[in-house]
Structure formats: structure tokens, C-alpha cells
Amino acid sequence: MLTTQNQLNVNFIGQEAVAGEGMPFSAYAPATSEALAEGFTNVTPEQANAAVDKAAAAFSPYAHLHPHKRADFLDAIASEIDALGDELIERAVLESGLPTARITGERGRTMGQIRLFANLLREGSWVDARINPALPDRQPLPRPDLRQMLMPLGPVVVFGASNFPLAFSVAGGDTVSALAAGCPVVFKAHPAHPGTSSLVAMAITTAAQKTGMPDGVFSLLHADNEVAQALVAHPAIKAVGFTGSRRGGLALLRVAQNRPEPIPVYAEMSAVNPLVVLPGAIADETGPASATTVAAGLAGSITLGVGQFCTNPGLVFLLTSPKTEQFLGTLAEKIRASAPATMLTDGIRQAFEQGINHLALMPGVQRRAESDTDAQASQNQGRPTLLTTTASQFLSNADLGEEVFGPSSLVVVCDTEAELRDCLNQLEGQLTATIYATTAELKQSSINWIDLLQAKAGRVLFGGFPTGVEVCEAMTHGGPFPATTDGGRTTSVGTGAILRFVRPISYQSFPNELLPLALQNANPLGIRRMVDGKPE
């Protein structure tokens, strides 16, 4: 492990730790609004270009490594992150304002998803190998030997997220899925946690050195917006991974589309994650299907992590029933009892307050409840807030469907199923959509609620709450625009994330020894393959 003492202010251009030659900046502790002692320096355009050049040179040797060697590299990254110990936890807590338990859990998730991709590489069938052997005697024309598999795109630029300084950052899902695919990564660090980013970059660089990876397989850059956009425009870059605001994601998408060679931008952006409550789901007096139970759980989901999850349920649709007021009363009570807490940055806290005030001033919107404790601006605290409106107001004002990033939710009370259907149809694309209902309600309704919701979101929940994303093979973390820029065809969480950074290549009439290992006759990798449309 490289020494971390007095070395937080570094960029990594490949395996070389260098000082930035651009503008200096400071990290802040959001809980105190104080600048931290260490200074940081952005790279210049020339330094950024040097990182991309190294990535381009590393692409071919890295892509052609035996997949088990790439898996060893990933496992080594997880081990080196673990070896950082308390230093990483303490720094991430300081820079994010998130509690120690949350950061500790996030570190575990980060190492877990790295090892998940290492296991995927060793199993190997993700390359989707397809073989159609030659048919020289076929009439009227012979068929040549054709073999297809997924191959890496090339160097990738990844942007760190503000709300997950570990799991969606330097060694997060975008980086690890790209590295697993065989793509070198140039990582643009988030300015809200530069020290945390440098520590994790040291771990990745150390892992690359210990496992003999080509120089340039990974770089970390502290960079301003101009340099960041120049990275996306660089002709050697073949894809972009991003988690953040709609404005930021669309800015990168425009750059990528205006290149002489447009490239895909996999940007996960805004979502309000609607939660629908039908009467049967809250009809009981007690138990899991009571208005009190569901409302209490919802309040916890709204305020979890100060609402700074991309799956925060920011919009609730409630169909009028005898339990409507009990549901709203409990929800308001729990919101009032929820304490303000430090948000990730001063900018995020200010945007949250502006968003709440903007909604509250709209016609027909009521500020139903706020935390009984005042938020402290000096600690960048967000105050949990509940707003309500009617279906008619929601349908007449598209702004009510916009995301407010923080511990709040807007409840839309609908008098009829038709109103509820129209409200849902008006929604933009989402990461998640949740429905609380009985099976009988869904079967008896003339409206197919599940079809309606799955047209809007990448993950549909029956009961439960969307906050929290399980990292596994079956997870989809994506959705139709503007949840993502790619129309919801991919995921940024789970093993399917690797498919963003590969493309299919067919090999026709190749000598066996020149084929990739996954396509050779003897199947030396021992992976599952399809031969003439049937499992081998």
C-alpha cells in the first residue's frame, strides 16, 4: 500500500501519483461548514490528456488478459480498500457528514460489489458466446463458421456521485463494471470528497501494481467542469458513466453526442420514485396492512440518509378511502418527530430548501408537516418536510412532479382510480415505482396498475420501500428518461452493469488458435455457450 501520510492531494495518471497543475480548491466538512486543512489541486487539460493517453495504451493489453487475471485485480482492489481501515471511514465521514455506521456499511457494500464482479469474470458466461459452426455442404449456399461474443468498448470516463462517497465513487459500480469488462477507467473525482477519493485511488493503484496490471488501467483526476467535459470529448474515450443531477448528466450527454464519433453516456439522474397506496393495503386496524404501519414505514424511508438517496420516495399517490386521514396523520406525526440532519454539501442543502419553498408556494399545495426541530444552517441540516396536494392540482402543474433531493415527499390525494391513472401517466421515467395493494384489488381493477408502473420505472416494488438497492444479479437500477439517459435499457447496479461497456463482435472463418478463448473449440474457459441455438 502506498503511504497515505500527507499524500491526499494527489492525482493518479496511471500508476504515477502527481500534483495537479491547475486551480487549487479545498475540501469541506459539511457538519461544521469548515474548510479542511489539506488543499487539493485540479489537473490541467494537458494532464488529463496524459491520463487518457495512458488508458488508450493500456486498453489492448488489459482487454486481452485472461479473465481470471482481471478477477484477481478486482479482488486485490477490495482487499486494499479493506486495508485502509479506519482512515478511510474517518475521512469519508468528515467529508460527507454521513454517520460512521452508514459509511462502514457502504464500504462493505463497495467491497461486496467488487467481489461480485470478480466472481462473474471467473464464471465467464456473461460474454454470451454464440457459435454457429460451418456448414460447407449446405444448399443452395454453404454457411461459414460464425462465432460471436461480447468484447470491451475501450477507455471509459467515470464521474463520482456526491451521495455515495464509496459505493458510487472511485471504486463504485461504474468503475468496477467497466474494469471487469476490460475497459481502462479515467475517474473524475467528486469535489465534495476529494480526500476519500484519493485514498481509494491509492488502493486501486496499489492493487494494479501488485497484480501486474498495465500502467493506465486506472487514473484518478481532480478536475474542473471544463476539463471534465474535455475528457468526454477526447476521441480515445468510448463511454461515460455518471450519477448525479439532470443538469450535469445532460451536459455530458450533449458533449458526447456532438463528438465526431458520438459515444454512449450512461447517466443516472433525477427520479421521484412514486409510491402508490390503494385502499386495501391500509384497510386493517393493525398489522402490516394498516394505515399506521404503512405510513410509519414510509416516513422512515423518506428521511433515511436525510433523503439523499436516488431512490427516495419523493411522490406518494393516495387513493381516497376511510383510512386517508389516519394515513396522513401518522405520516405527518412521524415527519414532525424526525430530526434534521447534515446534508452532503451546502449547495445540496440550499437546493433542498429552495425546492421545498418553491413547491409550498404553488397553488393547492399545503405544507402538512415539518420536523419539530429547527434545522441548523451552520451544520447544513435538512429539515424533514411533508407536503400535500390534490390530483387536479397535480395534473394541472407539471412542476409538482419534479425531484426535490432531500428528506421530503409530496402526497397527492386522488378521489378516483381514473385520477390516479392520469397522474401516473403524466410522470416522467423513474428508477423505482412502488405499489401498496391487495392481490384482489389488482385483479379486480379495470386498470392494469403493474403494467402502468413498469412502463415508468426500472424496478417495481410490491409493498416495501425503494430506499436501498440490493447489489445482485437480478437488480435493475435504471429507468426511462430522465432516470437515465439511455432509455432504461441498462442498469448501473448488479452484474448486468457490465453490459454497458461491451459490444458484440462476430468472428467469421477464423482459425481456431486465433479466436478468443471463449470461442475456441475446446472451450478452455469452461463457460456456458450456445451452439446452433442450444446450450453446449
C-alpha cell at 507: 468472428
* Burial class of residue 367 in the structure, from the number of CB atoms within 10 Å of its CB (0-12 exposed, 13-18 middle, 19+ buried): middle
Cell of 137: 455442404
- For residue 84, report the phi and psi dihedrals to the nearest 5 degrees: -65, -25
Count of CA atoms in the C-beta half-sphere (13 A) of 79: 13
Pairing between strand 457-462 and 275-277? unpaired
Identified catalytic residue from 310, 353, 403, 419: 310
Report helix, strand or coil for 151: strand
> Distance between CA 274 and CA 424 in Å, rounded?
8
CA 494 from chain centre, in angstroms, equals 10
Give the separation between CA 440 and CA 406, rounded to whole angstroms. 35
CA angle 361, 366, 372 (to 5 degrees): 105
Q: Is 268 a catalytic residue?
A: yes
Helices (H), 30-164: 45-63, 67-83, 86-96, 100-123
How far apart (Å, rounded) are the C-alpha atoms in residues 81 and 90?
13
Record the cell numbers describing residue 536, joined without a space.
453446449
C-alpha separations of 416 from 235, 248, 317, 366 in Å: 54, 38, 11, 21
Catalytic choice (80, 268, 370, 403): 268
Active site residue 285: no
Whole-number Å distance between alpha carbons of 311 and 467:
5
Q: For the chain, what is the largest distance between any 2 Cα atoms, rounded to a whole number of angstroms?
A: 82
Q: Give CA angle at 244 (204, 226), nearest 5°.
A: 80
List the grid coordinates of 504. 458484440
Pick the closest to residue 179 from 154, 210, 215 (CA basis).
154
DSSP state of 497: G
**Cα angle: 470, vertex 181, 512; to 5 degrees:** 135
Cell 497543475 appears where? 21
Residue with cell 458510487: 168
DSSP 8-state class, residue 214 = P
From the list 17, 27, 43, 46, the residue with the least C-alpha distance to 97 is 27
| Residue entry with cell 498495465 | 214
Report the DSSP beta bridge partners of residue 388.
Answer: 366, 411
- Collect all residues with Cβ–Cβ distance below 8 Å to 204 and sequence separation of at least 6: 77, 80, 170, 171, 218, 220
Grid cell at residue 61: 493489453
Q: How far apart are CA 233 and CA 521, in angstroms?
A: 40
Query: So which residues are the catalytic ones?
Result: 268, 310
